A and B are shown apart, each in its own frame.
Chain A
Amino acid sequence: MSRIEALFAKKSPVLIGFTVAGDPGIEASFRVAKTMIDARVDLLEIAIPYSDPVADGPVIERAHVRALRAGATPETAFALVREVREYAPALPVVLFTYYNIIHRRGGDRFFAEAAAAGADGVLVVDLPVEESDEVAPFAARYGIDRIALVAPTTSPDRQRAILYGASGFVYIISIEGVTGERDRLSPGIARLVGAVREKTALPLAVGFGISRPEHVRTVVAAGADGVIVGSALVRTIEEHLGDEAGMHAALRTVIARLRRGFAPDPEPDILRRERVEG
């Protein structure tokens, strides 16, 4: 059983935390990952820094810029995976990447390196199912899950085509747009989760725009097995640049608040109205 399977088998819902390798600095990046793990993130999604992250909103884009300025490369991301693997041997890790990083390296080398570092899955944000043959054989060869993406715009037929080759879990994009925090989630999210659920036995995780406990609650109520939080964590890093102690305290606070969305009982109104800070 893979680490991803084992996680979802024993726990649902799960909290998936996102970080850009090398943000806010190459060494500081591991300390960020460690804090996220200590704060009980269940699965870590590590982005390989890229010069042109078009699927990302401004918050995550700036994280890519910080990482690249710090000298981060794909090797930095593999090194971070290795460190996380050592620190938390059972914690599943997914590499999030733009396709050109793989294209330049060659699929065989990329997936070999990802596997050697201890990654469990790879998510290629700009490689649609029509082009996925370019990586599928390598993912299979090295035993890496290919995390599939389903968007609100994905037709039922495309959903089937996408799910056919998917493994690990399915990443459901909650909103039409780039990554980034939103005031409210798309009202169609429950329908989308339901439609994908009918077509696959894989766990479903919902991401894009999730930044508050009530979002988490909505997504869990919609039947998702996990939520993915990115910009809210990355923004916390950005707001505490130069104050590492404050950064780690704030990350712990944000993650604890988000986890409250998993609580079966609704929070008092006073907490629900409060924005996730930090």
Chain B
Amino acid sequence: MLNIIVCIKQVPMVSELPWDSKTGTLKRELAEGMMDPASRRALEAALQIKENQGAHICAVTMGPAMAQEILHQAKALGADVGVLLTDKRMAGADTFLTSHILARFIQREYENFDLVLCGSQTSDSETAQVGPQLAEELNIPAIGYVSQIRAKENSVEAQRHVDDFFEILNMDLPGLITIDLSAYKPRYLALEGVEKAFENPDIRIIDAKKLGLDDSFNALKDSPTRIIDVFSPTTQNENRVLKGAVKKVVDQLFDEYGKVIGSAMGKDLKTHEHDEV
């Protein structure tokens, strides 16, 4: 039976948020966390392996206490164990340290793991770095952007389409795979399932000390990269602003720019005969 670890992350729901089309605003009250869509697919891949040939699935996340929610969800879906790595000193970790912390956990608690599954990239930072860096630190091979896995005795066969190449690869275990966003469409979780999972949460919580990280460990300070400035992209384009009734602005648009538009279309547009407003 395969010993599978799935790394999942909680991300803000902002960009995919239910949204009020009347006011054009986000329904912020619903801006809670959700399971990163790619992580969700990694979990789906693990669940399918479990169904087909049996597996033990540990879902692990590093994040704030609130991230427990996605572990409940993972357990409701079929993960056997949920583990939260959480500590003030882990906050602010870049990918170098996120992968270090995840690796630490796996080395200490799941020494005889077979397969680590990650999403290819998260929806909030999309670095696509945590998977490869975790593999590097665990000194195991990794295949990214995989769309199909077939697990065998001591190896897995993975299929992917990357950089214009369709490939089938065979990888020794233990190994790591990141699941592409186009694959393993996640299953639906009935509400009662979630509720049940919340009744008996049973999530393991591990802090920096329990992970054996140095007393001086501080992710924010120790990350090799540092943000020195944050700004919003301002573009002060000298532009033409048209406003008013739709009919009026559309007429104005073609009056003033009909030539430009027509030439890009490769068509000659009739010039406008002015309407009475």
Q: Decide whether A and B are members of one complex.
A: no
Q: Which residues of B contact A (CB under 8 A)?
A: none
